[in-house]
Structures are given as C-alpha cells and as structure tokens.
Amino acid sequence: MIELFPTQIGTYNINLDKELVNLVMNDYQISPIGILNGSKSSYGITNTKFLNDKRLKNLLDEIYSKLNDYTNQLSLVPLDISGSWFNEMDDGGNVKLHRHEGSVISGALYFNLSNNPSPIKFKNPLIPYKMMELYTGNSNYHQTIDVYEGLLILFPSWLEHETLPQSGKRCVISFNTLHQGATIDNII
C-alpha cells in the first residue's frame, strides 16, 4: 500500500503557566457564538489577538517555535499568527463542525480540562469523492485525537473539525495564521 496525499497534523507539548493564562483571560470579555453549544468565546469581542497580550510573550514564543517546526516539515513558507482567541466550554458544551476560512494553518492549545475531555474530531476531506464506496468496517470517515492539558494541535485550516459534548469544563486557546506580511484584506 502507498498512502497518497495524507493530511499532516502536528501535535506538540506546551509548557503552560496556568496561573498567568487564567489571569490574562480574566481581562477579556467572552460571550456565546454560533459555532459553540453551551460555551463562550473571546472570538470577535475584543480584537481577536489574545496571544498578543504582552504578558503571554513566553507562551507566544513557544507556540511560534512549534508552528515553525510544523511549517518546516511541510515545506511551507513561514507564517504569522493572524488572530487568536479562547473558548470556555461548560459541561455538555461542544464545537460544531467547521473549518477556518481565511487561514493557512490553525492551532488549538488545550488548557483547563476536566477529567476525560472529549477528543477533537477531524472529518476526512476525501469523503465527498468516495461517493460510491461501501465499507465493511471502519470507513475512516472521522479521525479523533485525544486531548490533554498542554497539547497543541496544528492542522491545515481547510480541515473540518468538531468536538462532541464535553464532560465537565474545558478551555481551548485557538489561532489562525497567514503568510508573513499578509493580511486578509490584501489576499482577498
């Protein structure tokens, strides 16, 4: 078997100063948004630049280190983080299936998780092209990745993903990227 056109997902461990991150989060407004069920987000409320807070410089530097490793492995040109935010999910909260428009690579850093957090679930992008195939077993329609505190997942922004309802609470710091020096306005 030769595996053609795989989708590479990067997973990295990040050292978190939970006390500092919680302190910074307290300075940001959060509210419900349509893509989240039973959850709140800082997305779009402030300027969607959560990771640019000066107090998070060490965290941002570590994330850039992992992002640079991932892009180097994929032979992509360097990327800048173009937006960042955090989502807080309550018991039973989940994220609906979506992708990140206007971004090259997206990231999710798992933070403040209760026991047995729901995994992130990625939808196989080839399913629309396999319209006549019937399967006897696992169709590989979705792939899940178990999450834990300090896990950073990097993935192509076009890759649709979701989470099932969360057992307990969970917080995720997310971000999007663009090619260095690019903005959404000068790309579109």
d(CA 5, CA 102): 22
**Rounded to whole angstroms, how far apart are CA atoms 15 and 41?**
23
Q: Residue 171: inside a domain, yes or no? A: yes
Q: What is the pTM of this model?
A: 0.91
Give the residue numbers spanning the domain of 163: 10-131+141-182
Residue 51 domain-assigned? yes
Tokens of 47: 């300027």
- Of 121, 113, 122, nearest to 87 by C-alpha is 113
Inside any domain, residue 2: no
Counting the structural domains of the chain, the total is 1
- Kindly state whether residue 41 falls inside one of the protein's structural domains: yes
Q: Is the pLDDT of residue 114 over 90?
A: no
In-domain check, residue 123: yes
60-110 tens-digit pLDDT: 999 999 999 999 999 999 999 999 999 999 888 899 999 999 999 999 999
Answer whether residue 101 is part of any domain. yes
User: What DSSP designation does 22 have?
Assistant: H
Q: Give the chain's mean pLDDT.
A: 90
Q: Is the pLDDT of residue 9 over 70?
A: yes
**pLDDT tier at 145, thresholds 50, 70, 90:** very high
Cα gap 85→11, rounded to integer Å: 19
Residue, of 13 and 124, whose pLDDT is higher: 13
CATH label of the domain that carries residue 102: 2.60.120.620
Q: How many CB atoms lie within 10 A of CB 36?
A: 19
187 part of a folded domain: no
Domain annotation covers residue 136: no
